[in-house]
């Protein structure tokens, strides 16, 4: 008998569709529930002539099934199909089936229209229907009786513990592309080393691979303590004997747990499996621990180098939205979430927010669907609870950081966060880490930075090759979320970062608490922070930022503030131009200007030329307007000229960008009105009519936009549209190429297929949840 209870209701519905499609020789469809509620499966006709109802009531009573069917009578009468079938995972008596027939006697002539668990089993046991069994992973497990095969292997080790895990995981397992990729690699190479970050499903995938080969008559070898000597003794030395070995977390579950003898034992085991056609070896490990083992043992490092092609990184970025949705649905279904909680996930397609979340991780899904976790919030808040855990999954990462990393690794992660949310040059991170670590760990006989990076790579951090430069980044945005949360609540760690900062950026990312800000204020007044290094911008920029953000008015900082104002523009990054403008505005309009006597800088043409140059248009207008309100620039021709030229240049740049945004519409408009001979003339290059027509539209638009911007400028600065070289903007725009692109009718088929696949995934996800 097939164990249909391992299927969720959606999987059961798909199974019913496949079975009925074969029995009726009709193409059938499932769909999400809409206005015509009550139809699970139907044919392509509108209205449908064939309707099949899937009732997954494996763990319910017949009376519950009957009660549910009674509610469907009116719905089915409204559709009035020619044929109506009920498929159920319950075992029914003939009397049960007859009672169902009587409810729907208009559309069900006999009991053949009621397909129960026994009928489904008979169908699936037929060799001709093997394809339907194979198509469904959970049915295949039952059909092959693989669980019994594994249990009955007389020299199988630690069977009971493995089986308890597997029987739980089967229900939740989703047959992903990674599963098929791993089978392919194992089939080709006999050995697979599955690595990945915490919570991505390495152990589950490993155990499902084990069952795949158990079905192919491979005897399973497994021990919970990963005693390689014991495993080797259990193996049959005959190379033709089929055997598969699973070493789950073979280097330790939480930290490196490898005896000195084990690397050599592992080496001989791998060599034996490699030479034997019918031996398979599955190993899995957290990347952190694998890297640490490679660092600690030369023999193990040599093994990893030699078998690099056997490594398989389980990466969530490679998982499709549909696969993620199936994992979510399985956890919701088999954890038995109450209907009021489920309804919140379905409301406004909230499940799509979960599935498409950047921090999606099976471990988080497992966490939020466990009863002792979801019951901590009322049902109305359940969706937001899930999103909150994905937004800031501190409960998932907390154990990893607090119990599984040593102090050096935690310092590396905090240092990485103090430098950036994205990538950091490897050399920069090493310098910042070493500055901090040598004050807390005195052992300089080993390269602690290198050791930490090796341990953490592909687990909590990743290496990025940026045109030959090695950069480091957190492996997942949720890692940064966790670090932010932890550092924000830890003023001592904030002070430690500030105290040991090599780069100015570290200070600002650590300024979370009032305690840390007070500590920094004291240091700012007593040390020469203008000599600190920066990753971008200049120390002068960050010094001014410190003054306005911490509201510092200190006479001893007057000279440094003046120097910083004069030089902050240097090497200013594009993304900080807006903030630079806001700092200048605060310095001029607030009490800082008078306190630090900054007027002499703001009113000096030579200095203002450089200060204004990096500003955005809006910031420049705001600052210049504030100055001209206070200072009569009519008597200062040089300053007036600087203000005018800066504004004209910025407006010109702004309008050019706006014209670029409008170019496609202008081209489309002109082409739609063009005569065929104009298009032909453009194609053979005999006329510029199309280009001229496009520019004519854009030129008029340019003058309109310039006039709009001029109205926002203080009347003290006399600017007119004659000050702008509008005709020169034509050469900034690539009008000819835009026309050529618009006239092309071909498209990228690959992109189109990818889009179609995405659309298909979304519709299948909706159909799964909206039932």
pLDDT tens string 121-149: 999 988 888 888 877 777 776 665 666 65
Sign of CA dihedral 295, 301, 304, 308: positive
Q: Could you give the strand order of the β-sheet that contains 83-88, starting from the edge strand earlier in sequence?
A: 29-30, 41-42, 50-55, 83-88, 114-115
Segment among 23-37, 332-346, 551-565 with least mean pLDDT: 23-37
Mean pLDDT of 556-582: 91
pLDDT digits (tens, 9 = 90+) for 695-733: 999 999 999 999 999 988 877 888 998 999 999 898 888
Q: Over 50: is that where the pLDDT of 442 sits?
A: yes
Per-residue pLDDT band at 658 (split at 50, 70, 90): confident
Q: Measure Cα distances from 195 to 251, 279, 291 in Å.
A: 11, 21, 10
Q: Over 70: is that where the pLDDT of 150 sits?
A: no
Per-residue pLDDT at 132: 87
DSSP single-letter state for residue 392: S
Which residues pair with residue 565 across a beta bridge? none
Per-residue pLDDT at 238: 66
pLDDT digits (tens, 9 = 90+) for 269-284: 888 888 777 899 999 9
Per-residue pLDDT band at 748 (split at 50, 70, 90): very low
Please, which residues have CB within 8 angstroms of residue 119's CB and are 6 or more apart in sequence? none
Q: Find the DSSP H helices in 423-557.
A: 426-437, 448-456, 477-488, 491-499, 504-510, 514-526, 539-549
Q: Over 90: is that where the pLDDT of 758 sits?
A: no
Mean pLDDT of 690-698: 93
Segment among 71-80, 327-336, 381-390, 429-438 with least mean pLDDT: 71-80
Please, which residues have CB within 8 angstroms of residue 365's CB and are 6 or more apart in sequence? 327, 328, 331, 354
Q: Over 80: is that where the pLDDT of 239 sits?
A: no
Highest average pLDDT, of 181-185, 430-434, 526-530, comes from 430-434
Tokens of 709: 């911007």
CA–CA gap between residue 191 and residue 245 (Å, rounded): 10
Among residues 111, 126, 138, the alpha carbon closest in space to that of 2 is found at 138
Q: Over 80: is that where the pLDDT of 163 sits?
A: no
Which residues pair with residue 423 across a beta bridge? 473
Kindly list the domain boundaries of the chain, sorted by start residue: 4-129, 145-318, 392-509, 645-733
Please, which residues have CB within 8 angstroms of residue 567's CB and are 6 or more apart in sequence? 538, 540
Query: Are 473 and 464 a contacting pair, CB within 8 Å?
Result: yes
CA–CA gap between residue 422 and residue 409 (Å, rounded): 18
Tokens of 464: 């990025």
Q: Over 80: is that where the pLDDT of 34 sits?
A: no
Query: Are 659 and 702 a contacting pair, CB within 8 Å?
Result: yes
Query: Are 541 and 505 a contacting pair, CB within 8 Å?
Result: no
CA–CA gap between residue 165 and residue 51 (Å, rounded): 39
Q: Over 70: is that where the pLDDT of 253 sits?
A: no
Per-residue pLDDT at 49: 94
- In CATH, the architecture of 392-509 is Orthogonal Bundle (1.10)
CA–CA gap between residue 257 and residue 679 (Å, rounded): 73
Segment among 268-272, 535-539, 550-554, 707-711 with least mean pLDDT: 268-272
Q: Helix (H, G, I), strand (E, B), or coil: what is residue 568?
A: coil
Higher local confidence (pLDDT), 163 or 357: 357
Per-residue pLDDT at 603: 94
Mean pLDDT of 746-761: 39
Q: Strand locations in 168-273, DSSP E? A: 191-196, 219-222, 243-247
- 103-137 exposure pattern, b = at least 16 Cβ within 10 A, e = fewer: ebeebbeebebbbbbebbeebbeeeebeebbeebb
Tokens of 488: 């924000």
In the chain, % of residues over pLDDT 70 = 91
Mean pLDDT of 373-392: 92
Q: Over 50: is that where the pLDDT of 566 sits?
A: yes
Per-residue pLDDT at 441: 67
Mean pLDDT of 505-521: 95
Mean pLDDT of 436-458: 85
Query: 């659309």: which residue's tokens?
Result: 759
Per-residue pLDDT at 155: 46
Helix 735-743 and helix 689-710, axial crossing angle in degrees, nearest 10: 120
Chain mean pLDDT for the chain: 87
Q: How many helices (H) and strands (E) does the chain have?
A: 40, 13
Among residues 122, 771, 619, the alpha carbon closest in space to that of 611 is found at 619
Among residues 194, 225, 197, the alpha carbon closest in space to that of 207 is found at 194
Per-residue pLDDT at 737: 77
Q: Measure Cα distances from 761 to 178, 224, 322, 756, 766 in Å.
A: 17, 38, 5, 9, 9
Per-residue pLDDT at 466: 73
Q: Over 60: is that where the pLDDT of 630 sits?
A: yes
Tokens of 434: 């070493």
Tokens of 466: 């940026």
Which residues pair with residue 20 across a beta bridge? none
Phi, psi of 432 (to 5 degrees): -65, -40
Is the pTM of the predicted complex or chain greater than 0.75?
no
Q: Helix (H, G, I), strand (E, B), or coil: what is residue 372?
A: helix
Could you confirm whether domain 145-318 is CATH 3.40.720.10?
A: no
Question: Which numeric CATH code is attached to 4-129?
Answer: 3.40.1350
Per-residue pLDDT at 319: 87
């Amino acid at each position: 008998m097939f164990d249909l209870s391992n299927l969720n209701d959606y999987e059961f519905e798909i199974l019913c569709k496949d079975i009925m499609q074969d029995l009726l020789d009709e193409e059938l469809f499932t769909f999400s529930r809409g206005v015509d509620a009550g139809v699970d499966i139907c044919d392509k006709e509108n209205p449908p002539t064939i309707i099949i109802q899937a009732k997954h009531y494996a763990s319910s009573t017949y009376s519950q099934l009957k009660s549910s069917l009674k509610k469907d009578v009116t719905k089915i009468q409204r559709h009035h199909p020619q044929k109506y079938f009920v498929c159920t995972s319950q075992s029914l008596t003939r009397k049960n089936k007859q009672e169902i027939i009587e409810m729907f006697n208009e559309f069900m002539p006999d009991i053949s229209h009621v397909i129960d668990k026994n009928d489904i089993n008979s169908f699936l046991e037929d060799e001709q229907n093997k394809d339907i069994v194979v198509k469904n992973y959970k049915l295949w497990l039952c059909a092959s009786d693989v669980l019994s095969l594994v249990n009955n292997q007389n020299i199988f080790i630690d069977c009971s513990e493995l089986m308890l895990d597997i029987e739980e995981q089967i229900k939740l397992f989703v047959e992903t592309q990674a599963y098929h990729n791993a089978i392919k690699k194992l089939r080709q190479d006999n050995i697979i080393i599955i690595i990945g970050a915490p919570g991505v499903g390495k152990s589950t995938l490993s155990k499902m691979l084990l069952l795949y080969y158990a079905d192919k008559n491979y005897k399973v070898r497994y021990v919970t303590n990963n005693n390689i000597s014991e495993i080797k003794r259990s193996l049959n030395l005959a190379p033709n004997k089929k055997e598969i070995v699973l070493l789950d977390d073979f280097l330790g579950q939480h930290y490196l747990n490898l005896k000195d003898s084990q690397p050599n034992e592992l080496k001989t085991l791998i060599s034996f499996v490699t030479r034997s056609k019918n031996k398979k070896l599955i190993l899995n490990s957290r990347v952190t621990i694998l890297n640490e083992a490679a660092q600690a043992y030369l023999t193990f490092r040599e093994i990893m180098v030699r078998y690099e092609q056997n490594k398989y990184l389980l990466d969530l970025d490679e998982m499709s939205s549909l696969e993620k949705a199936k994992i979510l649905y399985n956890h919701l279904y088999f954890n038995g979430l109450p209907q009021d909680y489920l309804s919140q996930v379905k409301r406004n397609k909230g499940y799509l927010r979960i599935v498409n979340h950047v921090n999606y991780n099976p471990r988080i899904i497992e966490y939020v669907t466990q009863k002792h976790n979801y019951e901590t919030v009322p049902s109305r808040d359940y969706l937001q609870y899930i999103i909150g855990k994905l937004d800031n999954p501190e409960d998932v990462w907390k154990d990893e950081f607090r119990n599984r990393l040593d102090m050096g690794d935690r310092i590396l992660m905090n240092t990485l966060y103090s430098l950036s949310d994205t990538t950091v040059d490897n050399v920069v991170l090493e310098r910042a880490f070493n500055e901090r670590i040598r004050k807390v760990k005195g052992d300089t006989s080993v390269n602690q930075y290198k050791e930490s990076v090796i341990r953490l790579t592909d687990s909590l951090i990743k290496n990025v090759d940026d045109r030959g430069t090695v950069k480091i980044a957190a492996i997942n945005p949720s890692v940064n979320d966790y670090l932010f949360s932890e550092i924000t609540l830890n003023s001592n760690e904030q002070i430690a970062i500030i105290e040991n900062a090599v780069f100015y950026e570290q200070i600002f990312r650590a300024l979370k608490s009032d305690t840390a800000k007070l500590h920094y204020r004291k240091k700012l007044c007593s040390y020469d922070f203008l000599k600190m290094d920066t990753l971008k911008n200049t120390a002068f920029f960050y010094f001014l930022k410190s003054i306005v953000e911490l509201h510092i008015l200190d006479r001893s900082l007057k000279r440094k503030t003046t120097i910083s104002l004069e030089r902050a523009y240097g090497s200013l990054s594009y993304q900080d131009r807006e903030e630079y403008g806001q700092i200048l505005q605060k310095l001029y309009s607030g009490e800082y200007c008078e306190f630090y006597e900054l007027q002499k800088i703001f009113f000096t043409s030579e200095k203002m030329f450089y200060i204004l140059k990096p500003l955005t248009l809006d910031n420049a207008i705001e600052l210049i307007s504030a100055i001209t309100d206070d200072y009569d620039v009519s008597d200062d021709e040089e300053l007036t000229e600087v203000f005018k030229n800066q504004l004209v240049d910025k407006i010109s740049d702004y309008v050019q960008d706006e014209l670029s945004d409008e170019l496609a519409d202008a081209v489309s408009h002109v082409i739609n009105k063009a005569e065929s001979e104009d298009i032909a003339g453009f194609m053979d290059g005999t006329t510029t009519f199309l280009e001229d027509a496009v520019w004519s539209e854009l030129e008029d638009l340019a003058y309109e936009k310039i006039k709009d911007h001029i109205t926002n400028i203080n009347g003290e600065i006399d600017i007119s549209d004659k000050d702008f070289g509008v005709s020169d903007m034509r050469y900034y725009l690539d009008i000819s190429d835009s026309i050529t692109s618009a006239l092309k009718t071909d498209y990228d088929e690959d992109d189109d297929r990818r889009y179609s696949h995405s659309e298909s995934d979304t519709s299948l996800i909706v159909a799964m949840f909206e039932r």
